[in-house]
Chains A and B, each alone.
Chain A
Amino acid sequence: MSTSAQHQVSCGGGEISETMQVMAKHKSCGTVGGSGKASCGSQAGIGNVPNEVWEKVKNHPCYSEEAHHHYARMHVAVAPACNIQCNYCNRKYDCANESRPGIVSEKLTPEQAAKKVLAVASAIPQMSVVGVAGPGDPLANPDKTFKTFELVNKLAPDLKLCLSTNGLALADHVDTIARLKVDHVTITINMIDPDIGAKIYPWIFYRHKRYTGIEAASILSNRQLQGLEMLTARGILCKVNSVMIPGINDQHLVEVNKAVKSRGAFLHNVMPLISSPEHGTVFGLSGQRGPTAQEVTALQDSCEREMNMMRHCRQCRADAVGLLGEDRGAEFTMEKIMAMDIKYDEQARKEDQAKVEKARIAKLAAKQEQVAGLASASSEIKVLVAVATKGSGLINQHFGHAKEFQIYELSTSGAKFVGHRPIHPYCQGGDGEDSKLEIAIGAINDCHAVFVSKIGGCPKAELIKAGIEPVDQYAYEFIDGSAIAWFKLYLDKVNEGKIKHIERVDPAARRNALISAA
């Protein structure tokens, strides 16, 4: 396909808020675009995104990478029942320390969910999105899901609604979804080939009958694609999630990407399979491995030529609360909520969100200034750097306290968010500090530097030994601008011959890279 055509959509016409004008001025799409690419992607703030789409994504942390530094979301676990079985899911498992889809600690009624939404929205003003994501399938529990949305629409109309479904029942509910102003829907599509589907889904329950094998996968696939088409025809933004399962659908996801793009999906999110025997899932017990972070990145890269890829997914729990990457669910159990004095103040929330928008503008300005400084530099060098952050787009986390690192790719065209690396995988406990440091270094071994607000002497020495530069002089500054400033200094040192640029590619991690599949 051609990569030369760039789909230009003007931002003009209609009222543009001050924020949007500033962002429109500062943000652009970069130079690489696919023909018919719906927009400049999850990475972008505004640029080529049509006004109505920007209004939908600008404060949705899952649909906009830029927004996810500033806005929070919550999932309410009102949907326990499911209508399909997946080999990566075991509904019996619940662990408060674990973060993965399908997991919750507390089931809620729609009324309890509405109360929780008000409590969280009052305590966290930047919480902008309420989603139903399970722990089963929202549309296998249509009464509970839609009742929740009705209540939230009534009590807190400024909140955006979204849901995440396997798609089997989607086509039956599209009109209700549109009526209740649910303007973001995520469909998990792992295959379009029923032979592959039969290896992922042992059965589905459809129209009062259990189907198995290829027949089940065939029905599921048809229903998913039909639902996607119906939603996009109504202008509802659709994200497609795909679980990357090495040896089963990894190569095939490039085909899935094409199929969902041609049906109007806005964003594609390739997520790694989470698989471990203690989860008790079919894949966990059979020893099916998950992909490495580098394998996921390679697949995302090969799909990105076709459409927008989401790189900032944290595969959160069906009862997650807070910014992506943090989970404040434990602060909002029903027991604690019942004891809270909840005052929902829409005006105060608006004022707080206006402050967030100011911070976003400052961040973009800082980045723009640094990018302008890079304009004179010309170099083919690209490096990855890791960042310890608690959110707001700032370098504000201590190295030793970080539970994950955000990864940025730096080049002369700027800083691009390309993913995150969790350090403490699920339910790992009792490890000594040494092994935690080892895990942290292993997770960012392909990075040239790690940006932190603070770091102890010992880990600093270990990082340097591993060839990763610990950078703490940009503490509490914006990520993008700081990373670009550091990169500029790095290029200067290379050009002056003070250091030699060495590519940091972990050959073991890249062994199964899928770039060739594109």
Chain B
Amino acid sequence: MPFKIIASQCTGCSACETQCPNFAISERAGVFLIDPEKCTECAAYFDEPQCVAVCPVDNTCVLDTALPRHQEPA
């Protein structure tokens, strides 16, 4: 399950964009989006997902339960 950003809560501050180790985050129409193809939940990089840790609005970067969890290649 990659992370997704709840657009209605996004302030457009861009803090997540520069922290993402996968360059999965980009701006569209003033708010930010996570590319589910690129998101690895920060596995292999950091202990906690960076977008969640830096986001100024709680519960705005959340796991997208519609998609399967990210698997690190063996």
Q: A83-B54, A205-B53, A208-B53 given as contacts; is B12 within 8 A of A136 (CB)?
A: no
Expressed in whole angstroms, the Cα–Cα distance for A159 and B53 within the complex equals 37
Establish whether residues A210 and B54, one from each chain, have CB atoms under 8 Å apart when the complex forms: yes
Q: Using Cβ atoms and an 8 Å threshold, which residues of chain B touch A208?
A: 19, 46, 50, 53
Tell me if B47 counts as interface (CB < 8 A to partner A). yes
Establish whether residues B54 and A92, one from each chain, have CB atoms under 8 Å apart when the complex forms: no
Establish whether residues A209 and B47, one from each chain, have CB atoms under 8 Å apart when the complex forms: yes
Q: Using Cβ atoms and an 8 Å threshold, which residues of chain B touch A82?
A: 13, 15, 56
Return 10 A-B CB contacts under 8 Å, by A number.
Answer: A81-B13, A81-B15, A82-B13, A82-B15, A91-B13, A92-B11, A136-B13, A141-B14, A143-B18, A208-B46
Expressed in whole angstroms, the Cα–Cα distance for A136 and B16 within the complex equals 13
Tell me if B48 counts as interface (CB < 8 A to partner A). yes
Tell me if A273 counts as interface (CB < 8 A to partner B). no
Chain B 18-46 interface residues, beta-carbon cutoff 8 Å to A = 18-19, 46
Establish whether residues B54 and A80, one from each chain, have CB atoms under 8 Å apart when the complex forms: no
Expressed in whole angstroms, the Cα–Cα distance for A141 and B15 within the complex equals 8
Contact of B14 among A80, A85, A92 (CB under 8 A): A80
Tell me if A107 counts as interface (CB < 8 A to partner B). yes
List residues of B whose CB falls within 8 A of some A CB: 11-15, 17-19, 46-48, 50, 53-54, 56-57
Expressed in whole angstroms, the Cα–Cα distance for A81 and B56 within the complex equals 9
Establish whether residues B15 and A209, one from each chain, have CB atoms under 8 Å apart when the complex forms: no
Contact of A80 among B12, B46, B57 (CB under 8 A): B12
Tell me if A140 counts as interface (CB < 8 A to partner B). yes
Establish whether residues B56 and A91, one from each chain, have CB atoms under 8 Å apart when the complex forms: yes
Establish whether residues B48 and A209, one from each chain, have CB atoms under 8 Å apart when the complex forms: yes
CB distance from A207 to the nearest CB of B (A): 10
Contact of B53 among A80, A141, A143, A210 (CB under 8 A): A210
Q: Using Cβ atoms and an 8 Å threshold, which residues of chain B touch A135?
A: 13
Expressed in whole angstroms, the Cα–Cα distance for A141 and B13 within the complex equals 10
Q: A81-B18, A208-B46 given as contacts; is B12 within 8 A of A107 (CB)?
A: yes
Contact of B11 among A91, A140, A143 (CB under 8 A): A91
Establish whether residues B56 and A85, one from each chain, have CB atoms under 8 Å apart when the complex forms: yes
Expressed in whole angstroms, the Cα–Cα distance for A208 and B12 within the complex equals 20
Expressed in whole angstroms, the Cα–Cα distance for A506 and B53 within the complex equals 47
Q: Mark A123-144, 1 if CB is under 8 A from B, else 0.
A: 0000000000001100011010
Contact of A210 among B11, B48, B57 (CB under 8 A): B48
Q: Mark A55-89, 1 if CB is under 8 A from B, else 0.
A: 00000000000000000000000001111010000
Expressed in whole angstroms, the Cα–Cα distance for A81 and B16 within the complex equals 8
Expressed in whole angstroms, the Cα–Cα distance for A85 and B58 within the complex equals 11
Max chain A Cβ within 10 angstroms of own Cβ: one of B17, B50, B54, B57: B54
CB distance from A126 to the nearest CB of B (A): 33
CB distance from B46 to the nearest CB of A (A): 5
Expressed in whole angstroms, the Cα–Cα distance for A209 and B57 within the complex equals 16
Expressed in whole angstroms, the Cα–Cα distance for A91 and B13 within the complex equals 8
Give 3 nearest A-B pairs by CB, closest first. A81-B15, A210-B53, A80-B13
Q: Using Cβ atoms and an 8 Å threshold, which residues of chain A touch B12?
A: 80, 107
Q: Using Cβ atoms and an 8 Å threshold, which residues of chain A touch B50?
A: 208
Expressed in whole angstroms, the Cα–Cα distance for A209 and B11 within the complex equals 21
Nearest B residue to A140 via CB reads B15
CB distance from A478 to the nearest CB of B (A): 44
Q: Using Cβ atoms and an 8 Å threshold, which residues of chain B touch A83?
A: 15, 54
CB distance from B31 to the nearest CB of A (A): 12
Expressed in whole angstroms, the Cα–Cα distance for A209 and B48 within the complex equals 7
Nearest B residue to A135 via CB reads B13
Nearest A residue to B13 via CB reads A80
Expressed in whole angstroms, the Cα–Cα distance for A275 and B1 within the complex equals 40
Chain A 125-170 interface residues, beta-carbon cutoff 8 Å to B = 135-136, 140-141, 143
Q: Using Cβ atoms and an 8 Å threshold, which residues of chain B touch A141?
A: 14, 18
Nearest B residue to A92 via CB reads B11
Expressed in whole angstroms, the Cα–Cα distance for A134 and B10 within the complex equals 17
Given contacts A91-B13, A208-B50, 15 further A-B contacts (CB under 8 A): A80-B14, A80-B15, A81-B13, A81-B14, A81-B54, A82-B13, A91-B57, A107-B12, A135-B13, A140-B15, A141-B14, A143-B18, A208-B46, A209-B53, A210-B53
